Amino acid sequence: MAPKIAILFYSMYGHIEQLAKAEAEGIKSAGGTVDLYRVPETLPEEVLTKMHAPAKDSSIPTLDSPNTLEQYDGILFGIPTRYGNHVAQFRQFWDSTGGQWQTGGFWGKYAGLFVSTATQGGGQESTALATMSTFAHHGFIYVPLGYKTVFPDLGDNSEVRGGSAWGAGTFASGDGSRQPTEKELRVATAQGKMFYETVARVNFA
């Protein structure tokens, strides 16, 4: 039986959303299907307007309950960074998963991640490291991106590039003006493909 895959993300200015869609394309290129979800927004519309946050793509549903994720075999998490750690919206999502923590609702499921920061040194790897504690508490089986499928891109220092062996990534700049590059999106697509192919090796019958 083919694995069921979900991508859960938060994206205020669209950077993580672009990576999420690239990850989804990678999953589809490997023959899989995927459902995309947003974590619930915590900021009022008035604040988002003042922050010049664009309207969200209404075709991607908001995850109303973490229970929904229990039906999936693998989940990719798209996590923006604040001060080297998770944004509040994602922290609130994790804080709502106490039921899954107690019952083992996520135990044995496969997980990966991708991130976005404003700047280089803004905490991409520290955010990934912080996520490992949450993964461990829930019993997720972490699937790193590694270098095998993306060595030419991750090893190329000819331009500024987000992402690492932990997972794909991008830089947004402090005002959100920088957009994911072709290389960053290519790495995200490769991660989605690799993640699906890895999870698909497991017999979920």
pLDDT at 69 over 70: yes
What pLDDT shows up at residue 110?
A: 98
Whether 71 is in a domain gets the answer yes
The two structure tokens encoding residue 59: 């075709």
CATH of the domain at 187: 3.40.50.360
Whether 187 is in a domain gets the answer yes
Give the burial string for 163-183 (b: 16+ CB within 10 Å, else e): bbebbbbbbbeeebebebeeb
Q: Where are the beta strands (DSSP E) in the chain?
A: 5-9, 34-38, 74-82, 85-86, 110-117, 141-142, 169-171
* Number of residues that make up the chain: 205
Q: Does residue 53 contact residue 26 with C-beta atoms inside 8 Å?
A: no
pLDDT at 13 over 90: no
Longest dimension (CA), the chain: 49
Whether 123 is in a domain gets the answer yes
75-125 pLDDT tens trace: 999 999 989 899 999 999 999 999 999 999 999 999 999 999 888 888 899
What pLDDT shows up at residue 164?
A: 93
Whether 164 is in a domain gets the answer yes
Boundaries of domain holding 51: 5-200
What pLDDT shows up at residue 205?
A: 67
Whether 162 is in a domain gets the answer yes
Number of domains into which the chain is organized = 1
Q: Rounded to two decimals, what is the model's pTM?
A: 0.95
Q: DSSP letters of 181-199? A: -HHHHHHHHHHHHHHHHHH
Whether 52 is in a domain gets the answer yes
Q: Write a three-state SS string for 82-109.
A: ECCEECHHHHHHHHCCHHHHHHCCCCCC
Whether 20 is in a domain gets the answer yes
Between 192 and 12, the higher pLDDT residue: 192
Give the integer Cα–Cα distance in Å for 188 and 196. Answer: 12
Cα–Cα distance list, 183 to 58, 154, 156 (Å): 27, 9, 10
143-155 pLDDT tens trace: 999 999 999 999 9
Give the integer Cα–Cα distance in Å for 109 and 104. Answer: 10
27-46 pLDDT tens trace: 999 999 999 999 999 887 88
For 122, half-sphere exposure in the C-beta direction (CA atoms, 13 angstrom radius) is: 20
Give the integer Cα–Cα distance in Å for 112 and 1. Answer: 21
Q: Pick the closest to residue 163 from 126, 195, 116 (CA basis).
A: 116
Average pLDDT of the chain is 93
Alpha-carbon torsion (135, 133, 131, 112), positive or negative:
negative
Whether 205 is in a domain gets the answer no
